[in-house]
Structure 1
Amino acid sequence: MPKPTQPPSVTDNVPLADAPEARPDPLFNLSLAKGLAVLRSFDAGHRAMTLSEVAARSDMTKASAQRTVHTLEVLGYLGRQPRTGRFCLQPKALEIGYGYVASHPLALAATPYLAQLSNESGETASLTEPVELDMVYIAQRMTTQFIPVLTPVGMRIPMYCTSSGRAWLAGQSDAQVAAVLAASAREPRTPHTLTDVAAITERIDECRRVGYAWNAEELFLGDMGIAAPIVDRRGVTHGAVHVSPPTCRWTPDDARQRLAPLVIECARAIASALPG
């Protein structure tokens, strides 16, 4: 179950890296925290940055950021663009996340079933699991057809407005659902985004009744989602599997009618393949 509130991150404007008093734990390694903060500061909107930009995104002083960036550059996790001299991630940074995905029981169990779901639906099939107030992609089988939005492995999406997030929340208690929604920003990502707690809760309750959750252009325009929770034999919800039918090929009603049974079947197959 995700925590009701998110811990400080590199985008929270919390002086995590330069405020030891904020972390009284004697075992807490501040240098390591700084390094991770710098790596996390790079994303799709910040692919290459100056040292000052890295410092601002990581909530560090420029001097502290310089030492951390230099260390990561020497180790091969950061490099510089030849023309601009801006810092950017290097392929070695993939090793950190790859070890997690490559050894993840849920991702390993889901691989053949995601392929089958993608083939049968003709759409991209994805596996996500909860991280704080978000769902993170841990496996995916891409369609060969046009897709309006790229959602690669490692990307995080908010629970409140996504089919996979609502599917996972459907397996939690009412109190846990309320805590997550209360802590979520619930911003209108598109004109179609549900932000009202009662309306979102109604969708989650619907998932509990019918076995799948859905959204229509609530996170990205032109993109929909049909998701089912992955629930093991003990009743524990591990994550969700979903397909992403675009509005250029599907109507919401057609997607729900034709794709939901495939997604539910896939989720059950993955759950049955989990170890233990």
Structure 2
Amino acid sequence: MPSAKPIAAAPARRRRKPAPGLESPLFMASVAKCFQVLEALNAAGRAVALTELAALARLDRSAVQRITHTLRALGYLRQHPLTRAFTLSGRMLEFGHTVLATDRLREKASPHLEALNRKTGETVNLTEMEGPEIVYVVRFPSLHAVSVDLHVGSRLPVYCSAGGRAMLSRLDEAEAMAMLGAVRRTPMTKRTVTDLPGLRAALARARELGYALNDQEAFVGDISIAAALTNRAGEPVGAINIAVPSPRWELAEVLRRLVPQLLKTAREINRELADL
């Protein structure tokens, strides 16, 4: 077995307002700790021994010991018989499968996204907004080499992603700005817009044009355009986007060749969503 990676020092964190529900008497801290352990193990992406897992989850070792024992007994964790390191078990796959199988938006949008992927030869995604993040629920990869390797389940901040801005642009402006004002906005590249006036302007442009643009704000070398998907009430339920690498695409070509196809596909999906 390869030697374990050293435990990285925990980065300093600014104090933030508690997320909605954390201060409710209904909130169960023990359940929250369980998910801290699962999220830490998922983020590590490898087998992790108990002491390191406690550090990654920012929890007391004895608490993590009880949590991992329970999860292993229930079949949600595996433990190596020699190293005693933990990994997520295959049983966790059942949750992801159910999430995807019961997502009506994914069902309606997937054929259209596959067709768009074939026409453009570029990466096409469906994202949904969950709190301050977007999550990828469908991904048809490019036929060419790409600079960003994301997958179904990947998450990005809503403020600096094209999909997030597309969805925010379909909300009431005050509501969208309140959401942006409540989250910590850390630059992901030198181009990331994080100030509220700049984000307000970006949402106004997306509202006017019908699509949002992200020019290397989330990842260096990645240009992304996105259009919102809405329900019958006009509320955003998701966004579709096309992502291309800047070494192969000039921004002007993205706007000229890909935006019309993106908007056409969004209109087709939205017509079907109106029947739901």
Q: Shorter-chain-normalised TM-score: which range?
A: 0.7 to 0.9
Deviations 1:136-195 (A, max 9, x none): 111111222111111111111001111101100000111112112212222111111112
> Hey, what does 1:7 align to over in structure 2?
19
Deviations 1:70-128 (A, max 9, x none): 12223332223577542222222121122111111111111101101111121111111
> Hey, what does 2:49 align to over in structure 1?
50
Runs of 4+ in structure 1 off by over 6 angstroms are: none
> Hey, what does 2:271 align to over in structure 1?
272
Q: 1:257 to 1:42 in 2, by over 3 A?
A: farther
> Hey, what does 1:191 align to over in structure 2?
190
Q: What secondary structure sits across from 1:269 in the alignment?
A: helix
> Hey, what does 1:170 align to over in structure 2?
169
The higher-RCO structure (CA 8 Å, 6+ apart) is: 1
Distance in structure 2 (CA, Å) of the matches to 1:115 and 1:102: 17
Distance in structure 1 (CA, Å) of the matches to 2:83 and 2:216: 37
TM-score, structure 2 normalization: 0.86
How far off its partner does 1:44 sit? 4.2
> Hey, what does 2:147 align to over in structure 1?
148
> Hey, what does 2:6 align to over in structure 1?
none
How far off its partner does 1:215 sit? 0.7
> Hey, what does 2:222 align to over in structure 1?
223
Distance in structure 1 (CA, Å) of the matches to 2:220 and 2:269: 29
Deviations 1:239-269 (A, max 9, x none): 1000111112111221122111111122222
Q: What secondary structure sits across from 1:245 in the alignment?
A: strand
Runs of at least 5 residues in structure 2 that lack an aligned partner in the other structure: 1-15
Look up the equivalent residue of 1:166 and give its one-letter code: R
The answer as to 2:275 corresponding to 1:263 is: no
Q: 1:208 to 1:112 in 2, by over 3 A?
A: same
Q: 1:166 to 1:5 in 2, by over 3 A?
A: farther
Q: What secondary structure sits across from 2:100 in the alignment?
A: helix
> Hey, what does 2:95 align to over in structure 1?
96
> Hey, what does 1:126 align to over in structure 2?
125
The answer as to 2:247 corresponding to 1:248 is: yes
Runs of at least 5 residues in structure 1 that lack an aligned partner in the other structure: 10-15, 17-21
Contact 2:228 2:266 in 1 (8 A): yes
1:102-121 matched pairs, under 5 angstroms: 102-121=101-120
Count of residues paired in the alignment: 260
TM-score, structure 1 normalization: 0.86
Distance in structure 2 (CA, Å) of the matches to 1:139 and 1:172: 23
Distance in structure 2 (CA, Å) of the matches to 1:245 and 1:176: 30
Distance in structure 2 (CA, Å) of the matches to 1:216 and 1:155: 19
> Hey, what does 2:234 align to over in structure 1?
235
